[in-house]
Amino acid sequence: MNKEFKILEDGNIEVIDEKGQITKRYCSNSIQNELLSENKSELIENKLNDAQKKLKENKKVVDLSKWMLIFQPIIIGIASIIGFIQGAILNTGNILIGGLYNALYLGLFTSFIAIIPTVYWAIIKKIFKKKIKNNETMITSINIIKKNFEKENKNIKENEYTRKGHYPNATFNLEKDTKQINDNLDRQINMVYESNKGYSPKLTMKRK
């Protein structure tokens, strides 16, 4: 992120980023606008990456909840089988009745215990499926903002910033303008997000 720039005596500039790294660049008539446009592009990419990261994380939670819900009846079934075998072995009379009785007992006991995790993972699945829908809407919204910005960026006019009246060694801070850009971006994204609510576009995640 470009933090500030300084006009040098040779007419070029030194650009300082948020990490303190200095880059020497040619000073065009619209250099300030160019640097702020670069900041805006980076802000958009950061917001898009954050939204995609949240979507990926929430999908993992939903996948986990699906598997946990599948495991509950499997666990009950395994417990019933173990109960049947144990009952058949321990019962010296009717093996079948002893096995079935023990299988039913352990099956019901395990089912009772499985109620809590089943309800828990069912709720988690529902909550995070809603979050995924919101994540997808947010990604769509940011992509709309990104596309509009790219069009706008191609039409940037020269002479929005001139060096007239500015002298060598003058330093110009970009943080205030960058913060304003970020605030405006958040407002724009929220407006587009709210207008896109109710839609559930199918998005494909790029594999990194």
Higher pLDDT: 112 or 5? It is: 5
Q: Residues 168, 7: contact at Cβ < 8 Å?
A: yes
- Mean pLDDT of the 2-10 span: 86
Task: Say how far apart CA 16 and CA 4 lie, in whole Å.
Answer: 5
pLDDT at 207: 41
Q: Which residue has the tokens 């009772």?
A: 112
CB atoms within 10 A of CB 115: 10
Task: Say how far apart CA 185 and CA 137 lie, in whole Å.
Answer: 16
pLDDT tens-digit profile of 10-30?
Answer: 878 889 998 889 988 887 777
Give which of 34, 39, 44 is closest to 146, Cα–Cα: 44
pLDDT at 60: 93
pLDDT tens-digit profile of 43-79?
Answer: 999 999 999 999 999 999 999 988 888 877 777 777 6
Asked whether the predicted pLDDT for residue 88 surpasses 50, the reply is: yes
pLDDT tens-digit profile of 160-177?
Answer: 444 444 555 667 788 888
Q: Residues 126, 118: contact at Cβ < 8 Å?
A: no
| Distance, CA of 16 to chain centre | 29
pLDDT tens-digit profile of 94-110?
Answer: 666 656 666 666 667 77
Instruction: Give percent above pLDDT 90 in the chain.
Output: 27
Q: Residues 84, 99: contact at Cβ < 8 Å?
A: yes
Lowest mean pLDDT among 36-40, 68-72, 125-129, 147-151: 68-72
Give which of 17, 29, 40 is closest to 153, Cα–Cα: 40
